[in-house]
Every structure is written in C-alpha cells, then in structure tokens.
Structure 1
Amino acid sequence: MTFARTVLAAALTAATGAALAGPPAAATSPWGADDEIGRLNLMTDASRAAVLSRIAGGKVYDLGVDYHKAMPSWSLLGDPTYQIWMTHTPQGTVVDDPMKVGKAMNEHVSYSGDAVLMYTHTGTHIDALSHFGLNGRIWNGFAHAQHLGDNGWHRGGAEKLPPVIARGVLIDVAAAKGVDVLPDSYRIVPDDLKAALKRQNVSLAKGDAVFIRTGRMRVIGDKDKYMSNPPGIGLESARWLVEDQGAMLLGSDNLSLETFPVETEKNWIPVHTYLEAEQGVAIMEVVDLEALSRDKVYEFAFIGASLKLRGASGAPMRPVALPLRAQR
C-alpha cells in the first residue's frame, strides 16, 4: 500500500488511553502572549556560546539534501513538486539580446538564470508552528480566523524562526537494531531510543536538537520507496523526548518524523499536532544523517537557519553539524 493510500485510508487502531486523555488543543505558551517560536525559546546567548566553545575541529557535516526534479516530495494533497527552469541561457541571450548589447558582447559574456517552484516542506526543511493546529488554532492560541490571511500567516510564520545553534544529538535507531533501514511502518518506542542512546553512551539534555535515524535516507533515490509507509516515532516517543528529556527540536531522515499508518483514529497526524500545537516543538524532516552515522558522531554542534519566508508554514534549511569535544 502506498503512503498516499495509507494516509487517506485513515489510521489502523484506536489511541491509547493516555493519548485520548482529554481533548487535545493548541496550548498557551509559557513564554508569553506574543510567543511564536515555542521551545526554540530555550536557546540563549549562553547556551549558544556553550555549544560553540566545544567544537572539536574544522570538519563539517552537511545535513541537507540536493533539490532536483526527481526528488521525493509531499504531493499527496496536491502541493507542487520541485520544479526548476531556465529563465536565461547563453544561447538564448545571443538570440534575444535582452540588454541590447549586441551579438559580439553576448557571445563574449555568457549569462544563465533560473527559477524554482516548490512546496515549502520540500527537501530538508523546518516546520513553523503554524503548520499544524487543532480546532481552529495553532500554538499559543492564534486562530485561523484572525491570523491567517490570503498572503500567509500573520502569526507563527517561518520568518519568525530564529537561526538554530544548539547541541545536536543523533539517536541512531537503525544502527542499534543492526539494520540499514528500519522496516516499513516501524513505530519507534521509548525503549528503542533508550537502547540506542545507551549503545552510543550519550545522554540527552534540556534544549537539545534531537535527530532520529531510521535509515530511510538510504533509499531516497527511489521516491516511491522513500515515501511509502515510513518508519518513525509514535506519540509515546514524542512525549518521552519532549516532556521527559526536554528536547527543543526534533528531526528525522524521513519525510514525516512520525510513522505511518498512525496509532490514532481521531487524528490522521497525531505526532505533528502534539509537537507543534500542544508543545511548541519545531520539526525538521529529510535530514541527511548518514555521514554522522557512518562516523559514529552522536553529539555535535547543530547550526541551521531557514529561509525567512514571511507567513509560510515552513521553509527549506541547509543545516550543518560540527563534532564536539567531550565535556570535562
């Protein structure tokens, strides 16, 4: 069954008692009535300085993926796939002479230009907290009716997301399980996360940017396989990471973070709404974690800044990781 059919067919089973304890709703921020970035408020000048002071050396891991026309993308609901086209070519410039400088000049000075079109949640990207809400409201109670205009969100847009500089932690669940890629629809539970962290001899701390490796990046060249029934975390793991361990940001190498089919009947994407609307946690998806896994780099300085797309529900990001020295 394809990912699209899975999602549109709804969920497999009823939610656990904990998941249904009280009607879920968009939460009010503890950072005040104007807060639009949620747990990214955990970053401070001191926290950024602390992680930057521990960078071990000059090696940089690029966590972003290439953008190209054959890449996997979320087009299930009609959003556009990535497109690129030339707006100027050297030969076209010779023919059209747009600057009116003549053939000789255009043959001497070549000119290329291009344009792209894509859904804002394409490739390596971060969700703004306006991406998913509950009952007409997003994080901090901002209502669709008052804060969403024809040109995007007036509250919670991607332009509000700050550059992220934080301690990053890789939880390599696939490696801990001894597989290249977790099975389709594998739901990662807290015991899986704890076992991987124990194997890596790493502990989580409040304010971490935590990245879950499922191994899906190994098959990104086959977009149907990459998209169909992805493994990922469920609600129990999301709660453990945020409420118990204090994670500030969560990311993964798949295009959903959570697994599909989901575990609830009353919500088709429960981890997203729990994290973004209820907890104010930004989500990153399609993060390339393969090199970190290969080199067993489990703790690093995570640095990433997204495009300041005003009013958008998400934005592309090209993040990097720099290994850290062990703390004394």
Structure 2
Amino acid sequence: MCALCYVDEAMKAKIIAYNAEFHKVSKSPFGSDDQIGMLNLIDAQSRSAILSRADASKVFDLSVDHFMGMPGWFGAGDPTYQIWMTHTPGGEIVDNSMGVSLEANRLVGYSGDAISMYTHCGTHIDTFNHFGYGDLIFNEFNTSEHLGSRTWRKCGAETFPPIFARGVLLDVAGLHGVPTLPPSHAIGEADLTACLKRQEIALKPGDVVLIHTGQMKLWPDMAFVKNTPGLNRQGAEFLAKNGAIMIGADNLTLEQTPTVEPLNFFPVHTYLLAEAGVPILEMAYLDELVGEGIHEFAFFGACIKLRGATGSPMRPVAMPLAD
C-alpha cells in the first residue's frame, strides 16, 4: 500500500504534478513553513501499512561503521572522523577526575570517549539546508533571515521524522552484470527503467529508493571516494517525479562524480534538495540485500536530531516483506 493512498485527492494531484523549476529553489506544496518536503507523505496510516507487511524475522543493517581512517567526503577540507578516550581505568587512578578515593578508582573501571566528525561522514542523510541556489534553500528560506552564526534555523536534521516506508532497491550494477559500475558511470532514466523491468517491480509514490552501484565492494579503500558512479540529474528527476520521498545509494555522493555539467558541481544534490524536496541518503550498505535478491522491503531509518545540521548520521534497516 502506498503512502499516497491516504492523501486527499487534491493534494495527491498537486504532488504528482509537482514540477521543479530548473536551477531555482521551490516553494513546498505543503506550506510556507514546511521543512521536510516529500517526507510529509509519511503518516500514521502509511507507517502502519508497511509495518503490517514487514517480516521482522530478518533485519538487514544498511549502515557502515565509523572508524579512524574511514573513507568520506574530505576533498573540500572537511574533518575526518576522529575518536579519543576521555577516561580510562588506569588514567582515572592517576587523574582522579571524579574526586573519589584511590580504592574507588581501583574498584570502578571508568572508560569514556569523544568523537569529532563532519556531519556527512558515514551512512547519513542530507537535509534541505545542505545545498541550495545562491542564498536560498528549499521553500525559499534564505541566509539573511534563517542562517545564524552557528547553524541554519530552518531545515535542520532535528526536523526530519523517523522514516517508515516501502523501500525499493534498484540493482544497476546487476543490470550491467558487473560487481561494481565503472568509474563515473552516469545512471539516468534508461538504467532505472531497465532495472524496474528486469526486477519486475514498479515505483509508487511514497517509496524510499536505494541504488546499488557496487561501490561498497571498494570499502574501506580510499578508492571508494574517487570518480563515483551515480545518478545524473535525469535519473534523479525520473525518481522524484515518480514519487520517491528519499533517494539513496551505496556510494559517496549519490550522484555521478565528477559531473559533466560545466557550472553546477553537484546537480543532483541541488535538484533533489532545493527543487524537488527529496532528502538524500548516502553510503548505504546494500550488498546483503542484493545478495539475497531482495528488491522490495520495509525501510526504517532515523537520524540523530542535530539541531540546524545540514546532515546527520543514520542507521537505516530493511526488513523483507511477508507478502
């Protein structure tokens, strides 16, 4: 059952007919203060519908783990993942940070740690303040009114709800009979429609669509980050206009890199986030789903509610459908 089954007919027609204007941010069809775009299609009934079909006897973890030296988007000078101990059992005997007796520190082994990372590190979701056009982001929020000294005051990760939806996996690498697509392979409408035909599956409004490029075969080698195969704008438009509420992939950037467009260095990000109101999931681990031939599933994912952040770690999971 699709998410739009419970949307009134006027809104359904408005959403399905919704067309972005090229290289311009869009007003949301959900109102002037909307910050979650197509995630508005998730409601109590759509969640219940997909969960009623989920087979919870097997759960697929679609996330990667975080570790020192992991691949990530660091080409623009963003910080790598770092972790360090803030307390160790032996260190507490020396430092006594808790101000207790020596006997207490010898009895209680206290360990603690801290991390530092770019918010787009590892498996994560991109929010609508991540990319826009000029000083505008989705729904015409702007830098002069809505961007503070530290964070955006609109469209941060804290606004995104837990995502329960039908998931669809499009195995583009499998379509081409390769474990990993060639570097910088552009995934357009032809690849996507061929995948749907090969897998005998149809897209429905309200779907989370995940694309298998095979890039996780390179993980954790740093080759993972170079010349990624991925969506081009044509492919992104095809999925968005077929009602996808979130689009993700098993690569670094979701989209093809480097882009062939002369001015827009991230045409898929700007289209989906600023024009179409569709969030992005990156670095999803899809190999187990592909290995078991599961192309339709119940998807669940929730990000950390980092107020104002342009992205947030997510640990998505998939469960096969019972029917």
User: Normalization by structure 1: what TM-score?
Assistant: 0.90
- For structure 1, which segment, 282-291 or 102-111, has the greater mean C-alpha deviation from structure 2 after superposition? 102-111
How does 1:27-66 map onto structure 2 within 5 Å? 27-66=26-65
Question: Which residue does the alignment assign to 2:115?
Answer: 116
- Alignment partner of 1:153: what SS? coil
CA distance in 1, matches of 2:138, 2:244: 17
Of 272, 275, 278, which residue of structure 1 is paired with 2:275?
278
The amino acid that maps onto 2:187 is: I
Q: Gapped runs of 5+ residues in structure 1? A: 1-20
The amino acid that maps onto 1:298 is: H
Give CA-to-partner distance per residue, 1:222-254, whole Å, 9 cap, x none: 02x1000000010111111111x2111000001
Deviation at 1:22, TM superposition (A): 6.9
CA distance in 2, matches of 1:272, 1:81: 21
CA distance in 2, matches of 1:87, 1:119: 20
The amino acid that maps onto 1:252 is: A
The amino acid that maps onto 1:226 is: F
Question: Which residue does the alignment assign to 2:133?
Answer: 134
Deviation at 1:266, TM superposition (A): 2.1
CA distance in 2, matches of 1:151, 1:163: 25
The amino acid that maps onto 1:246 is: G
Question: Which residue does the alignment assign to 1:232?
Answer: 230
Asked if the contact 2:124/2:283 (under 8 Å) is kept, the reply is yes
Give CA-to-partner distance per residue, 1:110-152, whole Å, 9 cap, x none: 0100000000000000011000001210000000111000120
CA distance in 1, matches of 2:86, 2:165: 39
Deviation at 1:23, TM superposition (A): 5.2
How does 1:1-328 map onto structure 2 within 5 Å? 24-223=23-222, 225-243=223-241, 245-326=242-323
Give CA-to-partner distance per residue, 1:267-311, whole Å, 9 cap, x none: 111110000000001001000001100111111111011001011
- Alignment partner of 2:136: what SS? coil
- For structure 1, which segment, 245-254 or 100-109, has the greater mean C-alpha deviation from structure 2 after superposition? 100-109
Question: Which residue does the alignment assign to 1:3?
Answer: none
Q: Gapped runs of 5+ residues in structure 2? A: 1-19
CA distance in 2, matches of 1:121, 1:317: 10
The amino acid that maps onto 2:71 is: P
The amino acid that maps onto 1:272 is: H
The amino acid that maps onto 2:207 is: D
CA distance in 2, matches of 1:42, 1:22: 21
User: Normalization by structure 2: what TM-score?
Assistant: 0.92
CA distance in 2, matches of 1:160, 1:44: 15
Question: Which residue does the alignment assign to 1:6?
Answer: none
CA distance in 1, matches of 2:261, 2:97: 58
The amino acid that maps onto 1:232 is: G
Deviation at 1:318, TM superposition (A): 0.6
Asked if the contact 2:128/2:156 (under 8 Å) is kept, the reply is yes
- Alignment partner of 2:144: what SS? helix
Asked if the contact 2:126/2:280 (under 8 Å) is kept, the reply is yes
CA distance in 1, matches of 2:200, 2:109: 54
- Alignment partner of 1:226: what SS? helix
CA distance in 1, matches of 2:302, 2:57: 19
- Alignment partner of 2:269: what SS? helix
Query: For the aligned residues, what is the CA RMSD?
Result: 1.2
The amino acid that maps onto 1:118 is: M
Asked if the contact 2:165/2:298 (under 8 Å) is kept, the reply is yes
The amino acid that maps onto 2:314 is: M
Asked if the contact 1:25/1:135 (under 8 Å) is kept, the reply is no
- Alignment partner of 1:98: what SS? coil
Q: % of aligned pairs identical?
A: 51
Deviation at 1:56, TM superposition (A): 2.2
- For structure 1, which segment, 102-111 or 116-125, has the greater mean C-alpha deviation from structure 2 after superposition? 102-111
Asked if the contact 1:184/1:231 (under 8 Å) is kept, the reply is yes
CA distance in 1, matches of 2:94, 2:267: 55
CA distance in 2, matches of 1:217, 1:304: 19
Deviation at 1:263, TM superposition (A): 2.5
- Alignment partner of 1:152: what SS? coil
- Alignment partner of 1:169: what SS? strand
